[in-house]
């Protein structure tokens, strides 16, 4: 906003220079004309004006200085009053920024730039409020969903534990089966509880980077290798094409989380018996990472929203792998902190996530 005020003050200063220049030219012309008339003795009452003419002729510099000074003072005072009026206008219009309506703020012509800036602030503020409300609503809806979903595994755990406690003659096969069910439900319960902690502790605005140089190719290969045990549940296969000897300066821990979240998301929402393809290449001054999988097509209207906090696709609510809706939002926040970008494409049951990081 300071730049807009500086621009405004420059306009006022320019007006002062222009008006003062015009006034100076006019006064000098009048003084010259007055001098010519007096010197020609061609007007009535010359004798009466002679003392003034004589004084003026002997004090030309002082007279010109007085006349111009008075004129400059008047022009400066007029512009000062106009500036005060503009400031009052700006102060009185500040309240309009916080009004929840679509009325545009209108200021005087010289404040055109300030007007545009204030209108921009007003509508950005309203847009941010809407985003915050939507985010809070998604968060509250998610908490309600998670709280309700906690009951399901907990009820199963208590039910099967009750059977194991009361049925003393239960055979080993059923005992093992029930214990496995209890174990699976306990893991799901732990995941849900961890999601609660994730929601309450994570703030996407607090991203502080601690960069160090690393071979990004080796890091990618290690992360991909660690995911192999998770593939058997859906009989998935990961195909990787990773360029070697790519040294970049990044926050290793946070970038590991980006890759982890993106691959985990692809595993969670892949069809069974399909492939996940991961590539990483250095192109010009950027590292480009592409992760693709076969899964339910994401509607175009919802594609941009998958990187927002607490956003979950509708079909994610019926899966056991659906998280708190923070994974991709965290990934986007970290990538942006590195000066990069992340986006998604989806059509014909094919999902592609692209990450670009400056070297």
Q: Is the same domain home to 311 and 192?
A: no
Q: Is 8 within a domain?
A: yes
Which residues of the chain fall short of a pLDDT of 70?
Answer: 1-5, 7-8, 34-58, 60, 109-112, 138-139, 141-143, 145-149, 195-206, 309-326
Question: Domain of 346?
Answer: 212-358
In a domain, 114, yes or no: no
pLDDT tens digit sequence for 5-29: 676 677 778 888 888 888 888 877 8
**Are residue 93 and residue 169 in the same domain, yes or no?**
no
**Are residues 258 and 176 located together in one domain of the fold?**
no
Q: Verify that 64 and 148 share a domain, yes or no.
A: no
Is residue 306 one of the residues assigned to a domain?
A: yes
Backbone angles phi, psi at 51, to 5 degrees: -55, -45
- Tokens 């998301």 correspond to 265
Burial pattern 126-149, b for ≥16 Cβ within 10 A else e, equals beeeeeeeebeebbeebbeebeeb
Residues 241 and 320 both lie in one domain? yes
Tell whether 296 and 217 lie within a shared domain.
yes
Return d(Cα 261, Cα 242) in angstroms, integer. Answer: 18
Q: In this structure, how many other beta carbons lie within 10 angstroms of the beta carbon of residue 273?
A: 10
- The structure tokens 């111009």 sit at 68
234 and 167 co-located in one domain:
no
34 in a domain, yes or no? yes
* 108 inside domain: no
Does 163 lie in the same domain as 79?
A: no
Output the pLDDT for position 290: 95
Give how many domains the chain has, as a whole number: 3
- Is residue 117 situated within a structural domain? no
Tokens 């220049």, residue located: 21
Indicate whether 143 and 223 sit together in one domain: no
The CATH number of residue 183's host domain is: 1.10.287.130
Q: Is the separation of the CB atoms in 144 and 310 below 8 Å?
A: no
Q: Which two tokens stand for residue 355?
A: 């990450």
Shared domain for 70 and 156, answered yes or no, is no
Q: Are residues 239 and 350 in the same domain?
A: yes
Predicted pLDDT of residue 2: 59
Is 230 in the same domain as 149? Answer: no
What's the burial of 276, exposed, middle or buried (CB within 10 Å: 0-12/13-18/19+)? buried
Using CB atoms within 10 Å of the CB of residue 153, give its burial: 0 to 12 exposed, 13 to 18 middle, 19+ buried: buried
């Amino acid at each position: 906003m300071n730049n807009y005020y500086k621009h405004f003050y420059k306009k006022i200063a320019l007006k002062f220079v222009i008006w003062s220049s015009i006034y100076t030219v006019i006064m000098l012309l009048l003084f010259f004309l007055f001098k010519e008339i007096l010197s020609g003795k061609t007007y009535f009452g010359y004798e009466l004006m002679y003392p003034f003419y004589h004084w003026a002729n002997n004090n030309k510099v002082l007279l010109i200085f007085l006349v111009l000074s008075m004129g400059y003072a008047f022009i400066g005072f007029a512009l000062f009053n106009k500036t005060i009026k503009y400031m009052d206008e700006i102060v009185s219009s500040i309240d309009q920024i916080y009004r929840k309506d679509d009325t545009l703020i209108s200021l005087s012509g010289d404040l055109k730039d300030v007007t545009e800036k204030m209108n921009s602030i007003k509508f950005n503020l309203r847009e941010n409020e809407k985003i915050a409300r939507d985010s809070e609503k998604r968060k509250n809806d998610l908490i309600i969903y998670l709280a309700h979903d906690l009951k399901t595994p907990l009820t199963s755990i208590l039910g099967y534990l009750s059977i194991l406690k009361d049925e003393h003659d239960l055979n080993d096969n059923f005992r093992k089966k029930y214990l496995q069910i209890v174990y699976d439900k306990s893991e799901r319960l732990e995941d849900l509880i961890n999601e609660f902690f994730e929601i309450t502790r994570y703030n996407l605005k607090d991203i502080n980077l601690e960069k160090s140089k690393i071979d990004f190719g080796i890091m990618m290969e290690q992360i991909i290798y660690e995911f192999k045990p998770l593939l058997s549940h859906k009989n998935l296969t990961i195909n990787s094409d990773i360029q070697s000897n790519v040294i970049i300066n990044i926050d290793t821990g946070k970038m590991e989380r980006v890759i982890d979240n993106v691959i985990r998301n692809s595993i969670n929402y892949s069809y069974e018996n399909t492939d996940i393809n991961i590539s990483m290449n250095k192109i010009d001054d950027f590292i480009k990472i592409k992760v693709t999988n076969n899964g339910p097509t994401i509607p175009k209207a919802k594609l941009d929203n998958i990187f927002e906090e607490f956003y979950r696709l509708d079909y994610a609510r019926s899966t056991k792998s659906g998280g708190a809706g923070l994974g991709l939002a965290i990934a986007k926040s970290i990538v942006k902190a590195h000066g990069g970008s992340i986006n998604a494409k989806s059509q014909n049951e094919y999902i592609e996530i692209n990450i670009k990081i400056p070297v």
